[in-house]
């Protein structure tokens, strides 16, 4: 399969596909981080995670449209305003859902899965009723468009770079929150031993609610970032939910580093193969490999050692 290409072409192909893989990696990390917090830390399966992402995307769409119509001068920074709004909108909805539904189901993880699936259907139909069935795109400010030529063949799209920068910032922020802040210490305490955490005075219910809200908020940011590279429809969220869950499980559900590592592996494998095989076969092969590895090593790549 390599015979038709010269060495320099091959190098460029790998560089370009590698970059496409890096963008995919960023998107996976953004999607999976929120899920890793909710699923890994709390053990809750949130099948509506994709719909929280889409909420973020729609908030971005609305915000940029409003800014464009009312204060066109702010357009260059509208995207970042939208991203913050997306975080709070998705986070607030997440906390409401936790209060109304999830907290009654912590002891029944499989039932949470069904209930959140129901929630995802309702959210999808809500989006369809409000925004219509057509996919919508966000108007990006001019400076985010275009690409930087690196060599004759290699061109780096700017929006990809921005997505990567956002991912880096969010990942660092999450790492800081989880491992350096008081709240993170409380979350980890609750995960490792709920009863003891409660006994030392941590309000475990409040921690649960905020953790769930944080995870959903990050999903909102992911959706917002996603509008830079694709359009958004009411059922776009469902397309990503399986990928995202596999990323989280493959990385080892309780380990955030594992999530990043597995997002990297899966996205690079997929985008490199996509060039040589058809898109669907690349996806099938990637997913099969991941499922195969999970069958051999069910605990995932990285395991958090906790005595229970």
Partner 1 sequence: MTAFLNSPKKTELIGFVLLAAVILLVLPGITDAFRLNMVGKYLTYAFVAVGLVLCWGSAGILSLGQGIFFGLGGYCMAMFLKLEASTPEATSIQSTPGIPDFMDWNQITALPAFWEPFHSFAFTILAVVAVPAILAFVIGFAMFTRRVGGVYFAIITQAIAAILTILIIGQQGYTGGVNGITDLRTLNGWDIRTDSAKTILYFVNAALLLGVIGLSMAVRSSKLGRILVALRDKEDRVRFSGYDVAAFKIFVFCFAAAISGIGGAMFTLQVGFMSPTFVGIVPSIEMVIFCAVGGRHSLIGAVYGTLLVNFGKTTFSESFPELWLFAMGGLFIAVVMAFPNGLAGLYKSHAEPLLERFFAKAGERRVGSAEAPAPIAE
Interaction site with partner 1 (CB under 8 A) = 43, 45, 101, 104-105, 108-115, 117-125, 128-129, 238, 242, 245-246, 249, 278, 280-281, 283-284, 287-288, 290-291, 294-296, 298
Residue closer to partner 1 by CB (options 193, 299) is 299
Choice between 100 and 137, CB closer to partner 1 = 100
Between residues 204 and 238, which has the closer beta carbon with respect to partner 1?
238
CA 98-245-156 angle, 5° bins: 115
Nearer to partner 1, 138 or 304 (CB): 304
Burial of 11 (0-12, 13-18, 19+ CB in 10 A): middle
| Closest approach of partner 1 to the CB of residue 47, in Å | 8
Q: With respect to partner 1, which residue has the nearer C-beta, 42 or 163? A: 42
Q: Which is nearer to partner 1, 3 or 110 (CB)?
A: 110
Please give the backbone phi and psi of residue 155, each rounded to the nearest 5 degrees, phi first. -130, 135
What secondary structure letter does DSSP report for 141? P
- Return d(Cα 259, Cα 250) in angstroms, integer: 8
Q: At its nearest, how many Å lie between partner 1 and the CB of residue 116? A: 9
Task: Give the separation between CA 241 and CA 247, rounded to whole angstroms.
Answer: 10
Smallest gap from Cβ 121 to partner 1, in A, equals 4
CB of 43 to partner 1, least distance (A): 8
Q: Is 202 left (phi over 0), alpha (psi -120 to 50) or beta?
A: beta
| Shortest separation between residue 297's beta carbon and partner 1, angstroms | 9
User: If you count DSSP H runs as helices and E runs as strands, how many of each does the chain have, helices first?
Assistant: 12, 2
Q: How far is the CB of 168 from partner 1 (least distance, A)?
A: 28
Residue with tokens 């597995």: 262
Residue 298 DSSP label: T
């Amino acid at each position: 399969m390599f015979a038709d290409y010269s060495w320099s072409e091959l190098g460029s192909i790998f560089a370009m596909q590698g970059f496409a893989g890096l963008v995919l990696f960023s998107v996976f990390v953004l999607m999976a981080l929120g899920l890793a917090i909710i699923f890994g830390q709390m053990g809750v399966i949130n099948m509506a995670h994709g719909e929280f992402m889409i909420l973020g995307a729609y908030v971005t769409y609305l915000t940029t449209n409003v800014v464009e119509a009312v204060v066109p001068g702010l357009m260059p920074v509208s995207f970042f305003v939208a991203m913050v709004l997306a975080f709070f909108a998705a986070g607030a909805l997440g906390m409401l859902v936790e209060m109304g539904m999830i907290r009654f189901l912590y002891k029944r993880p499989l039932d949470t899965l069904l209930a959140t699936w129901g929630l995802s259907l309702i959210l999808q139909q809500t989006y369809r009723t409000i925004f219509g069935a057509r996919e919508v795109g966000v108007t990006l400010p001019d400076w985010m468009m275009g690409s930087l030529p690196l060599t004759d063949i290699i061109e780096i799209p700017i929006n990809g770079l921005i997505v990567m920068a956002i991912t880096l910032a969010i990942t660092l922020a999450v790492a800081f929150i989880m491992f350096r802040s008081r709240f993170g210490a409380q979350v980890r305490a609750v995960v490792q031993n709920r009863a003891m955490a409660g006994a030392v005075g941590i309000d475990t219910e409040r921690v649960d609610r905020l953790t769930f809200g944080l995870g959903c908020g990050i999903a909102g940011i992911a959706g917002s970032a996603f509008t830079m590279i694709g359009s958004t429809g009411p059922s776009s969220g469902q397309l990503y939910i399986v990928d995202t869950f596999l990323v989280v499980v493959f990385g080892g559900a309780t380990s955030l580093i594992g999530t990043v590592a597995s997002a990297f592996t899966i996205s690079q494998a997929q985008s490199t193969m996509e060039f040589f095989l058809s898109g669907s076969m690349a996806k099938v092969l990637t997913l099969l490999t991941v499922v195969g590895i999970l069958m051999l090593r069910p605990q995932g790549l990285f395991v958090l050692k906790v005595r229970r």
